[in-house]
């Protein structure tokens, strides 16, 4: 009887640990209307100006959510026009996972216990490509920009086909849907498990060779 009781206790304990490990991590629902994520990270917008590009994007710098005309309340909204100087011009936006996961501290976050990234999205694009990426970075920082450890060949998943005029729920498997681009050099290739163990940011990245436009809204981002 004691042995049976012990086995039942172990099973219940393991079940409890499993449930705790799969508790969703809410990145942001934007309900508070500010640029700080649920875990204290910050939202930002970038473009290709640092590399000589002339892409235009609004806002630029800090991303503060705005009210939508739908039932979502507050959501993040970014729009812009890709430039024509680089041959594959870009802009994007992202969030640091915690208050210290970005520069200068770069305290990495282990998200290997999660399998799926989920968020809501709507918008339109005249062309180009919209992806979600998992930057793999380290020191030293150049301002608030950390050094890439992949030559910018980060794991990414295309969500271009999910972009419509109505809100859609996008679900991406962290291990099956994200891949490094085909142009990644052998020296820049890394295991997805290493990336997930040392996560710091999530980014939505738009690129185009033809001066395309994008207007995109996102909301209710979480890992589970």
Alpha carbon distance 73, 175 (integer Å): 31
List of domains in the chain: 24-223 (2.60.120.430)
User: pLDDT tens digit string along 113-127?
Assistant: 999 999 999 999 999
Alpha carbon distance 69, 148 (integer Å): 38
Alpha carbon distance 217, 73 (integer Å): 12
**147 falls in which pLDDT band (50, 70, 90)?**
very high
Provide the whole-model pTM: 0.88
Cβ–Cβ < 8 Å for 89, 51: no
CB count, 10 Å around CB of 33? 11
Average pLDDT over residues 115-140: 97
Determine whether 173 is exposed, middle or buried from the number of CB atoms within 10 Å of its CB (0-12, 13-18, 19+). Answer: exposed
Nearest C-alpha neighbor of 56 from the set 31, 30, 78, 28: 78
Nearest C-alpha neighbor of 215 from the set 94, 121, 142, 148: 121
Identify the DSSP state of 196.
H
**21 falls in which pLDDT band (50, 70, 90)?**
low
Up-side HSE of residue 81: CA atoms within 13 Å toward CB?
Answer: 5
Up-side HSE of residue 72: CA atoms within 13 Å toward CB?
Answer: 27
Least confident of 95-104, 116-125, 139-148, 215-224: 139-148
């Amino acid at each position: 009887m004691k042995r049976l009781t012990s086995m039942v206790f172990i099973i219940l304990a393991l079940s409890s640990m499993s449930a705790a490990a799969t508790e969703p991590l809410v990145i942001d629902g934007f309900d508070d209307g500010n640029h700080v994520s649920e875990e204290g990270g910050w939202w930002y917008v970038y473009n290709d100006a640092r590399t000589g590009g002339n892409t235009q994007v609004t806002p630029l710098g800090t991303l503060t959510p705005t009210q939508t005309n739908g039932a979502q309340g507050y959501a993040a909204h970014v729009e812009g026009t890709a430039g024509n100087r680089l041959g594959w011009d870009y802009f994007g936006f992202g969030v640091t996972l915690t208050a210290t996961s970005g520069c200068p501290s770069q305290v990495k976050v282990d998200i290997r216990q999660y399998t799926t990234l989920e968020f809501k999205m709507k918008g339109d694009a005249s062309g180009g490509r919209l992806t979600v990426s998992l930057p793999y970075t380290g020191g030293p920082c150049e301002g608030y920009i950390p050094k890439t450890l992949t030559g910018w060949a980060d794991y990414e998943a295309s969500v271009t086909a999910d972009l419509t005029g109505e809100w859609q729920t996008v679900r991406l498997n962290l291990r099956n849907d994200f891949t490094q681009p085909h142009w990644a050099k052998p020296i820049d290739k890394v295991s997805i498990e290493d990336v997930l163990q040392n996560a710091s940011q999530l980014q939505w990245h738009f690129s185009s060779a033809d001066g395309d436009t994008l207007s995109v809204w996102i909301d209710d981002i979480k890992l589970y």
